[in-house]
Amino acid sequence: MAKTLFEKYGGFPTFRKVVSAFYDQVLDSPVLQKHFTGVDMARLIDHQTKFVTYVTGGPANISDDHLARAHKMLKITRPEFEEMALIFEEALEDHDIEPEDVKYVVGEIRKRSHLIVTE
């Protein structure tokens, strides 16, 4: 039986590290950092890890409706989304996720851009 990407890469511990590294870079981004002032980053990392768990076939479920509600008031622009996607791609690559799997995960995020981009 084929493994999910979640299982292939070691599950929560691996993807938690990826997400933590991602947000370290996001907080350094002049394009993105404004969205995180006053945000409980531990809670956000937890939520994002659950989302990545979901898109990699792990035991989590994040509905499109939830994503839309979570981002509705954030006024995220297309360029900000693209910056985020690039940083996330780099975080996956930095954690030895294979290129085809990086492409898949980033593709899953991109498929939901209409729920995240609100400006």
Residue 3 in any domain: the answer is: no
Given a cut of 90, is residue 109 above it in pLDDT? yes
Residue 2 in any domain: the answer is: no
Q: What residues are designated binding site for heme?
A: 47, 71
Residue 53 in any domain: the answer is: yes
Number of domains in the chain: 1
**Cβ proximity of 119 and 76 under 8 Å:** yes
Q: Cα 51 from chain centroid?
A: 7
pLDDT on residue 116: 95
Q: What residues are designated binding site?
A: 47, 71
Residue 28 in any domain: the answer is: yes
Given a cut of 90, is residue 25 above it in pLDDT? yes
Residue 76 in any domain: the answer is: yes
- CA nearest neighbour of 116 among 73, 83, 86, 87: 73
Given a cut of 80, is residue 20 above it in pLDDT? yes
**pLDDT > 90 fraction of the chain, expressed in percent and rounded:** 96
Q: What is the pLDDT of residues 64-101, one digit of tens each?
A: 999 999 999 999 999 999 999 999 999 999 999 999 99
Question: Among the residues of the chain, which ranges form H helices?
Answer: 5-8, 12-28, 41-55, 64-71, 78-94, 99-110, 113-116
State the chain's mean pLDDT as an integer. 95
Domain that includes residue 25, residue range = 9-116
Q: Which two tokens stand for residue 43?
A: 């809670």
Q: In whole angstroms, how far apart are CA 78 and each of 31, 38, 65, 104, 115?
A: 11, 23, 19, 20, 11
Residue 110 in any domain: the answer is: yes
> Which of 17-21, 62-66, 102-106 is the least confident region?
62-66
Given a cut of 90, is residue 2 above it in pLDDT? no
Q: Could you tell me the CATH number of the domain that includes residue 34?
A: 1.10.490.10
pLDDT on residue 63: 92
Give the pLDDT band of residue 3 (cuts 50, 70, 90): very high
Residue 98 in any domain: the answer is: yes
